[in-house]
A and B are shown apart, each in its own frame.
Chain A
Amino acid sequence: MKFSLEWLSDYVDVAAVGGADGARRCLDQAGIPVESVSTAGEDVILDAEITPNRPDAMGHRGLAREIAAISGQSMRDPAARYAEPATQGDATEQLASIVIQVPRLCRRFGARLVRGIGPAPAPERVRRRLAAIGAKSISAGVDATNYVLWATSQPLHAFDFDKLAGGLLIIRKAQRGEKLVTLDGVQRVLEPSDVVVADAERAVSLAGIMGGMDTAVTASTKNVLLEAAWWDPVTVRKTARRLGMHTDASHRFERGADPEAIPDALAYAARLIVEAAGGTMAPGFLDAHGALLRVRKTALRLARLRLLSGDGRLNLDFAEDALRRLGFSTERRGKHLAVSIPLFRGDVRREDDLVEEVLRVYGYDRLPSRLPPAASPGGHKEPRRPIEERLADAAAAAGLFETVNYPFVDRDADESALGDWLRLTETALEPLAILNPLDASRHHLRATLIPGLLGAVSRNLRHGAPSVGLFEIGRAFGSKGESDRPESYESRRFAFALAGERRGHWSVPPQLRPADVFDAKGLVERLVAPWIPADEIVWKPAEIQAFTPRASAIAHTRAGEVLAVVGLLSESERERHGLDASVFAAEILVDALPVGGRPFVFEPFSSLPAITADLTFLQPRDLPWVKVEECVRGLGLADLESLRCVDRYEGEKVPPGFVKTTIRLTFRSAERTLSQDEVNREMHRLADELGRRLDVRFDG
């Protein structure tokens, strides 16, 4: 909001404060930061940021009050320089009357009449100042209302009095469907929640927002009725929002106006009109009241002031002086002040607000600085934070880079190929949608992190990266939740995606094995190992459109809970992301990992030598490894320590549909050294049993 230094000088001696720099320092301290300083002719313009709680400072007088309070200068009253202009003719109340039908929405409505004006423009001073702060000059009548708004922050409106039917102003709710063409030429269709000013026949102004076109002041206007009022902030805001309007008036009324400013504002504007365009003021002014706004009284205790500030040097003398400078009335009562809050400070309601007022004048720079005393033992982390941290550290150590993607997606385009995975995670039968999205084509919240990662992988490959590994930690969202538990709409996820060749290095042989799904699966196992060891994860083949069949799997916990998905991206999904290389992706449900990790107790180990033995057999391709493993372990082989699958071979000498598998068993006893014969006996038993129980052959 722009302010003219010259205009501020009407109210406070700016030169004594130190000119623009001094004013800026005062306003910074007051909490009204000046964002820029520029010049307009001889004048200096301050662009100040005014928070929504300070409508009183949205005019030069209010801003000057802040400068005066901080600097210690006294306020000037420019009106005192002018004699009250002569009034003449019939009194205003004989010519017009006001009826307030909505006393809580219009607490006060004042009007003043100027008759017999000519078409002259506003005084040069008025036009210059308005131009300096970027406001347009229109006519003496309109400029007067604008000028007073920017001087006092009280919005006013000027009617062409002769166009008001019946000399009557009724403040009422609009009728449903009632129409009003506002000053901007737009026809507004009104609702009963809107408040209007009406004459005897129709609505003539949208209360607190904009006047009507039909009754506006024009070059031929002779008699002007000036209006100033107090409007209910919420009503003004709702109407302005619904109609997409935002005016200097609505901006102030939404934030709260000062009913006591009305008489002076009207007299000020009337005087400016008479000064420029001639005419005379009708004696008296109309002053209709709705429900009364009471002056609030609050105590400020010295103890509270010192407690909140932490400054024992503050005293009531200082507090009293500071509050008075800001326009509060105070009375000393022992260890506290009884404070009356002026109506223009609707933002100040309670004792702590008064503390802030005093401290603004005192200056925060002067407050002491210390650390709060040590509290009871802290330093805890919410339970899933350490899980996410370990996942991130392990993934980074495995060569992946962390990314952060926006969660805005289009379910149909981005996630439908992962629908089977979404169904398994039970979070997202329907996407959670944003009602007012930035981009209507991506108005859903992601239900999985995988598509975002694939997008990032694709971008990196297009930039020419030979290989890329990315991971992300974040939330996935679904519409299945309970509205009184917002947290039930989201779940925590960890996901990664890998693509491309190994990094080129002089020592890496060119025929290096390309990555496959077991690299990705192994990474999942390694990542979750602190909580669930690999041999406790149950893997099942996955049928998910986005992944290649037989090259994707779902991990479950032993209790049957879904833990993760991993897979090789299907060709169609690769095409959709413009990916040439093989891409592997996985997603882990962080919420499925047990908080606190797994209990750990030392296990004694044998120092005696082990004997290993391999067994090779031919098996049908579709006999899953888990069946073989289950069978071997089910035999209860004596002193078996471990079992591994060390080779799988398809090709020459292996019939189609079959695969040659080699398993390696390690035998070790805790009590004695095993003999080769013992192991051979167990291996023969193993071969016999495998051949009997499973469809395997040893003829290769």
Chain B
Amino acid sequence: MDVTLPGRATRTGGLHPLTIVRRQIEGIFLRMGYSIADGPEVENDFHNFEALNFPPDHPARDSQDTLLLDRKAVSPLLLRTHTSPVQIREMRRHGAPLRILVPGRVYRKDEVDATHSPVFHQVEGLVVDKNISMADLKGTVSTFVEELFGKGTRTRFIPTFFPFVEPGVDVSMSCIFCKGAGCGKCKGSGWIEIMGAGMVHPRVLQGVAIDPEEFTGFAFGLGIDRVALLKYGFPDLRLLFEGDERFLRQFAGRT
């Protein structure tokens, strides 16, 4: 018997990097007391747009090029363009207070290339309670980013516009490649955009019968695909959707 011959390996399989990253993100928020919610990928205009304060025929809809399924339905059917409609479903079902995390697949009419895909994955967070403020959002987001990308990763808020939050912010984190010094990956800025967030718009709360004078809330959303790409340093989103074992094998055993 030559015991230096290689041992007999059992077959190894593994989870998809999107699942690995999703579970990491879920784990961080489960520890913070969030519950995981789910909603359908086929949505209607009401949940995907109207209840989120996107008026019909408003240019804000341009940024979310929608794949349509049925225009004639009372509320037209579509493939959801973001996980935010689940906010509406959960607030209508449970009211306030609420603390949820919603991972899910979303769709936009984007041509496939290295950084775009018509199918991608988001995680949406929502907290509605008494006395929730931007300060709570800042603390939550910075805790999350440090847990996921490592201690010392800084975050920065820049105002932006999403119809369903007010104020709305873009969250950037200090570049994880150059630690903020400026490199090709962050286009020299030292910052990488990581999520959108903001305080839940009072019209959204009113629409689900939550009194915005009694309750306030924050919401945030980020792309899992992009996080996977940043964390594992692969160059092209398309690798996620090709089912190539040479790619998938590298994640075997990771959690």
Contacts and interface: CB of A to CB of B under 8 A. Distances in A.
A673 B73 CA distance: 71
A364 B79 CA distance: 34
A331 interface: no
Interface residues of A, number: 98
Contact of B14 (A368, A402, A475, A487): A402
A506 B5 contact: yes
Interface stretch (A348-356, A549-557, A627-635): A348-356
Contacts of A324: none
Contact of B159 (A31, A310, A453, A481): A31
A286 interface: no
Given A355-B167, A401-B249, A460-B244, A503 B11 contact: yes
Given A369-B135, A370-B136, A401-B248, A477 B159 contact: no
B33 A375 contact: yes
B119 interface: yes
A483 B73 contact: yes
Candidate in B16, B142, B246 with the most chain A CB atoms within 10 angstroms: B16
Nearest to B30: A379
Contacts of B156: 364-365
Given A378-B35, A382-B36, A308 B57 contact: no
A675 to B, nearest CB: 42
A505 B9 contact: yes
A350 B205 CA distance: 14
B15 A402 contact: yes
Contact of A310 (B13, B14, B56, B133): B133
B245 A372 contact: no
A372 B127 contact: yes
A486 B40 contact: yes
Interface in B143-160: 143, 156-160
Given A237-B57, A503-B11, A364 B119 contact: no
Contact of A463 (B42, B166, B201, B244): B244
Nearest to A24: B189
A434 B6 CA distance: 52
A507 interface: yes
B248 A402 contact: yes
B71 A435 contact: yes
A308 B165 CA distance: 12
Contacts of A511: none
A402 B135 contact: no
A367 interface: yes
Interface string B120-152: 000000010101111110111011000000000
Contacts of A395: 13
Interface in B23-57: 23, 30-44, 47, 56-57
B241 A438 contact: no
Contact of A352 (B18, B79, B202): B202
A401 B245 contact: yes
Nearest to A364: B157
B13 A469 contact: yes
Contacts of B56: 234
Contact of B35 (A359, A370, A381): A381
Contact of B161 (A53, A308, A459, A508): A53
Interface residues of B, number: 93
B42 A489 contact: yes
Contacts of A541: none
B159 A359 contact: yes
A507 B249 CA distance: 22
A403 B133 contact: no
Contact of B13 (A350, A374, A396, A459): A396
Contact of A375 (B15, B99, B134): B99
B181 interface: no
Contacts of B73: 483-484
Given A360-B159, A368-B135, A484 B42 contact: no
A478 B8 CA distance: 45
Interface in A431-446: 432-438, 445
Candidate in A360, A367, A403 with the most chain B CB atoms within 10 angstroms: A403
A155 to B, nearest CB: 15
A486 B73 CA distance: 10
B21 interface: no
By Cβ-Cβ distance, the 7 closest A-B pairs, closest first, are A399-B11, A310-B135, A31-B159, A310-B133, A456-B243, A356-B167, A378-B33
Interface of B: 5-6, 8-16, 18-19, 23, 30-44, 47, 56-60, 62-63, 67-71, 73-75, 77, 79, 97, 99, 105, 109-111, 118-119, 127, 129, 131-136, 138-140, 142-143, 156-161, 166-170, 199, 201-202, 216, 240-246, 248-249, 252
Given A356-B168, A359-B159, A445-B79, 8 more contacts: A31-B158, A308-B133, A368-B135, A372-B139, A400-B13, A402-B15, A438-B67, A483-B70
